[in-house]
């Protein structure tokens, strides 16, 4: 993977701070010398993902993923090394050698870059139409009527799509862009008679949709006049998926103490942000998805859902709350007066009234209990019994005992019944088989991926420690390099790292983590990151000698075992000459093992 010189890699890495880049994907908190967060590569509830700003490395102690800033982007965005380099070079405006490595850039990556460029041009086109043309006044008048200020228009890059069927087509034609590329990003639609194309968005206020890295990946359009649908989104494309993004997410702060407000519509989101509620995002007109919940988890610990109050809105709210809670978020729901959406409410009542509504937002359990009570008269016995049955279902799902106790007390008081009665009903539901209940949560490990990491013991531990020494201590490197070869490393990952290290030493190259990462695949990069993120356990030359001998002993055991198996196979199929050669190899290995053991015995005797 050594496509770029050390100078280019160093320049890009010096500009692309790993904490800054990873923070676009993961909510990080400072803890000691590291930043920690929930791993983006496996599901976990307790953070085991570490980023070290001094070493510019990341490592997950849960699943073993690790590496530098390039490795992270390669794994997260499914890029190869030259693509990760080019992505960061584009971002930080670092000029790369022209065309030298273009053949290494995959077609998919090239197409993605082109599609993002087209979307950016389209956003500028729509924005310019809105602000600087006679036709755009129609859009401006609509936005002004809705109370949207000029600075908000600029901040959200709002635009206007011409009523004409080919306004965008003509513009991109003048830019020399193939119309089929416009179709790939969903900006144009082929005519039914296959005689050309027409603009997807016409006579609409345009809302550019950004991903977390501020690339424009798609558009939403709101009809200005009469027509259906009222809102129209870009279709699913290689760069845009509604269920994997949230409108305005790139604009909110990453702060676990600030609740994000999730609304349904673009105008709701923009109106809230304009009025100071800068943690507002919109769900792009779809039901909230698990991927969107995971995105939010990287920005905050709490979410307030502000969906419509109709029956469909309530169903969406409940489903959304369950999805968010499953990802470990503290969820509340904002109940606005029937028929009012956040934009309408804040325009009529003002920001202070909306802030009051936020303070009264209901948590998940309270919201469920309110729904359970809906349509029942709990003042009569029939309504009370029906509500108790529904409430027991809700309360029995609460895992935290303290939280459960609070809601049980509250519900019992509301119903004017003894607390114990309610507890007994909950117990019947939770423990139907004589009180026995197997709780997965009591035995389930938070990080299910731990089993994927090899236990760091014995020879494997010795291999890791020696590699750390080889990288960080030049004096030890010169000594160890004479006693070991890459083949002595049995672990597949450490063997790859050792191979790169030994080659670099033989070529007289400077040994730096960046130089090594540049030559490793993702698995070996993760291994190296884990090695470098651990603290050394060695102090003197005797310890180094012991590590070297441990590695040699393990290698010889492994080699002898393999040769034995090969001898059996050769004898089974009558390969006499092969058997003789293998026996000779076996004898040499045995001699080496005996000599190594003799040295170890004499050293112990000397002690």
With respect to residue 341, please indicate whether it lies within any of the assigned structural domains: yes
With respect to residue 152, please indicate whether it lies within any of the assigned structural domains: yes
With respect to residue 69, please indicate whether it lies within any of the assigned structural domains: yes
Last residue of a domain, one of 415, 443, 471: 443
**Element at 223 (helix H, strand E):** strand 216-223
With respect to residue 370, please indicate whether it lies within any of the assigned structural domains: no
Instruction: Report the pLDDT value the prediction gives residue 103, as an integer from 0 to 100.
Output: 62
Instruction: Report the pLDDT value the prediction gives residue 167, as an integer from 0 to 100.
Output: 95
Q: How far apart are CA 344 and CA 337, in angstroms?
A: 11
The answer to whether residues 19 and 34 belong to one domain is: yes
| Residue (of 119, 273, 274) closest to 211 by Cα position | 119
The answer to whether residues 437 and 423 belong to one domain is: yes
The answer to whether residues 280 and 187 belong to one domain is: no
Instruction: Report the pLDDT value the prediction gives residue 536, as an integer from 0 to 100.
Output: 62
Cα 127 to chain centroid distance, Å, stands at 31
The answer to whether residues 517 and 595 belong to one domain is: yes
Side-by-side strand order, sheet with 231-233: 159-161, 204-210, 216-223, 231-233
φ, ψ of residue 317 to 5 degrees: the values are -65, -50
The DSSP line for 484-517 is --GGG--SHHHHHHHHHHHHHHHTT----HHHHH
The DSSP line for 272-331 is HHHTT-TTEEE-TTS---HHHHHHHHTT-SEEEE---SSHHHHHHHHHHHHHHHHTT-EE
φ, ψ of residue 437 to 5 degrees: the values are -145, 125
The answer to whether residues 484 and 540 belong to one domain is: yes
Last residue of a domain, one of 443, 474, 493: 443
Which positions ≥6 away from 18 have C-beta within 8 Å?
Answer: 51, 53, 56, 57, 58, 68, 69, 72
Q: How far apart are CA 73 and CA 302, in angstroms?
A: 27
The DSSP line for 133-174 is STTTHHHHHHHHHTT--HHHHHHTT-EEE-SSTTHHHHHHHH
Q: How far apart are CA 199 and CA 169, in angstroms?
A: 7
Q: Residue 166 has which token pair?
A: 């080919």
Residue 32's CATH number = 3.90.580.10
Instruction: Report the pLDDT value the prediction gives residue 604, as an integer from 0 to 100.
Output: 57
φ, ψ of residue 482 to 5 degrees: the values are -85, -25
Q: How many domains does the chain have?
A: 5
The answer to whether residues 558 and 596 belong to one domain is: yes
Distances from the Cα of 537 to the Cα of 51, 461, 470, angstroms: 21, 10, 14
Instruction: Report the pLDDT value the prediction gives residue 101, as an integer from 0 to 100.
Output: 56
Residue 141's CATH number = 3.90.980.10
Q: Would you tell me how many other CB atoms lie within 10 Å of the CB of residue 1? A: 17
Cα within 13 Å of Cα(156), Cβ side: 32
Helix axes 364-373, 381-395, angle to 10 degrees: 150
Which positions ≥6 away from 126 have C-beta within 8 Å?
Answer: 159, 160, 161, 201, 206, 208, 219
The angle at the Cα of 138, spanning 134 to 140, to the nearest 5 degrees, equals 95
With respect to residue 424, please indicate whether it lies within any of the assigned structural domains: yes
Length of the chain: 607
With respect to residue 396, please indicate whether it lies within any of the assigned structural domains: yes
Cα dihedral 535, 539, 540, 546 sign = negative
CA torsion angle for 491, 494, 496, 499 (degrees, to 10)? -110
| Residue (of 243, 347, 336) closest to 291 by Cα position | 243
With respect to residue 336, please indicate whether it lies within any of the assigned structural domains: yes
Instruction: Report the pLDDT value the prediction gives residue 1, as an integer from 0 to 100.
Output: 43
Last residue of a domain, one of 103, 120, 145: 103
β-partners of residue 304 are 261, 332
Which positions ≥6 away from 606 have C-beta within 8 Å?
Answer: none
Q: Is the peptide bond before 229 cis (omega within 30 degrees of 0)?
A: yes
Instruction: Report the pLDDT value the prediction gives residue 351, as an integer from 0 to 100.
Output: 94
Is residue 39 within 8 A of residue 66, CB to CB? The reply is: no
Q: Would you tell me how many other CB atoms lie within 10 Å of the CB of residue 111? A: 14
The DSSP line for 398-412 is ---HHHHHHHHHHHH
Distances from the Cα of 397 to the Cα of 328, 349, 406, 413, 528, angstroms: 15, 37, 14, 20, 43
Distances from the Cα of 419 to the Cα of 88, 371, 425, angstroms: 60, 21, 10
Helices (H), 232-275: 266-274
The answer to whether residues 491 and 556 belong to one domain is: yes
Q: Residue 21 has which token pair?
A: 């880049």
The answer to whether residues 592 and 469 belong to one domain is: yes
The answer to whether residues 296 and 358 belong to one domain is: yes
The answer to whether residues 281 and 309 belong to one domain is: yes
Range of the domain at 418: 375-443
DSSP label of 560:
H
Instruction: Report the pLDDT value the prediction gives residue 48, as an integer from 0 to 100.
Output: 93
The answer to whether residues 232 and 272 belong to one domain is: no
Mean pLDDT per 10-residue run, the chain (607 residues)?
A: 65 89 88 91 90 92 91 88 85 72 70 92 97 96 96 98 96 93 96 92 97 91 91 94 93 90 94 97 86 88 84 73 89 82 92 93 91 88 92 90 93 92 88 49 40 63 92 87 90 92 88 83 89 72 86 91 88 83 88 81 55
Helix axes 381-395, 401-415, angle to 10 degrees: 170
Instruction: Report the pLDDT value the prediction gives residue 445, as an integer from 0 to 100.
Output: 42
Beta strands 159-161; 204-210: pairing state: antiparallel
With respect to residue 59, please indicate whether it lies within any of the assigned structural domains: yes
Q: How far apart are CA 331 and CA 365, in angstroms?
A: 9
The answer to whether residues 463 and 529 belong to one domain is: yes
């Amino acid at each position: 993977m050594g496509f770029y010189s050390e100078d280019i890699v160093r320049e890009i890495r010096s500009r692309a701070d790993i904490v800054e880049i990873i923070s676009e994907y993961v909510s990080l908190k400072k803890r000691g010398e590291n930043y920690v967060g929930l791993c983006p590569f496996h599901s976990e509830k307790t953070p085991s993902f570490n980023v070290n700003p001094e070493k510019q490395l990341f490592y997950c102690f849960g699943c073993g993923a690790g590496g530098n800033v390039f490795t992270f982007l390669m794994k997260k965005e499914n890029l190869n090394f030259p693509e990760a380099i080019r992505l960061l070079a584009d971002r930080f405006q670092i000029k790369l050698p022209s065309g030298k490595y273009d053949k290494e850039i995959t077609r998919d990556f090239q197409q993605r870059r082109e599609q993002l460029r087209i979307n950016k041009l389209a956003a500028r086109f729509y924005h310019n139409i809105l602000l600087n043309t006679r036709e755009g006044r129609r859009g401006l008048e609509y936005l002004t009527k809705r109370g949207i200020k000029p600075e908000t228009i600029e901040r959200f890059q709002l635009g206007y799509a011409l009523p004409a069927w080919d306004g965008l087509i003509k513009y991109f034609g003048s830019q020399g862009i193939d119309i089929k590329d416009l179709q790939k990003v969903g900006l144009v639609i082929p005519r039914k008679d296959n005689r050309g194309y027409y603009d997807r968005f016409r006579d609409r206020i345009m809302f550019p949709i950004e991903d977390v890295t501020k690339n424009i990946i798609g558009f939403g359009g709101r009809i200005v006049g009469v027509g259906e649908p009222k809102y129209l989104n870009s279709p699913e494309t290689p760069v845009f998926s509604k269920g994997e993004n949230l409108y305005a997410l790139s604009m909110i702060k990453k702060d676990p103490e600030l609740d994000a407000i999730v609304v349904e519509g673009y105008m709701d989101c923009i109106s809230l942000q304009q009025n100071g509620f800068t943690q507002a995002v919109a769900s792009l007109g779809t039901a909230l998805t698990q991927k969107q919940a995971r995105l939010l988890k990287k920005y905050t610990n709490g979410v307030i859902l502000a969906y419509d109050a109709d029956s469909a809105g309530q169903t969406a709210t409940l489903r959304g709350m369950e999805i968010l809670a499953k990802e470990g978020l503290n969820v509340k729901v904002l109940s606005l007066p029937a028929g009012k959406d956040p934009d309408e409410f804040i325009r009529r009542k003002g920001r202070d009234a909306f802030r009051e509504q936020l303070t009264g937002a209901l948590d998940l359990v309270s919201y469920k209990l309110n729904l359970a009570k809906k349509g029942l008269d709990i003042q009569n016995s029939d309504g009370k019994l029906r509500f108790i049955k529904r409430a027991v279902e809700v309360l029995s799902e609460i895992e935290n005992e303290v939280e459960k106790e609070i809601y049980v007390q509250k519900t019992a008081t509301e119903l004017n019944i003894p607390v114990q009665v309610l507890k007994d009903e909950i117990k019947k539901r939770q423990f139907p088989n004589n009180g026995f209940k197997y709780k997965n949560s009591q035995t389930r490990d938070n990080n299910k991926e731990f089993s994927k990491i090899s236990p760091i013991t014995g020879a494997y531990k010795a291999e890791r420690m020696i590699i750390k020494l080889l990288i960080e201590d030049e004096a030890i490197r010169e000594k160890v390099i004479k006693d070991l070869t890459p083949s002595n490393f049995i672990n597949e990952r450490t063997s790859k790292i050792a191979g790169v290290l030994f080659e670099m030493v033989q070529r007289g190259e400077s040994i730096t983590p960046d130089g090594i990462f540049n030559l490793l695949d993702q698995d070996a990069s993760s291994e190296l990151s884990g090695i470098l993120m651990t603290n050394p356990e060695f102090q003197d030359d005797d310890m180094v000698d012991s590590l070297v001998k441990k590695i040699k002993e393990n290698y010889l055991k492994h080699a002898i075992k393999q040769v034995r198996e090969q001898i059996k196979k050769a004898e089974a199929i009558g390969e006499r000459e092969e058997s003789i050669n293998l026996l000779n190899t076996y004898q040499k290995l045995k001699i080496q093992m005996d000599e190594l053991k003799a040295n170890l015995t004499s050293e112990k005797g000397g002690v």
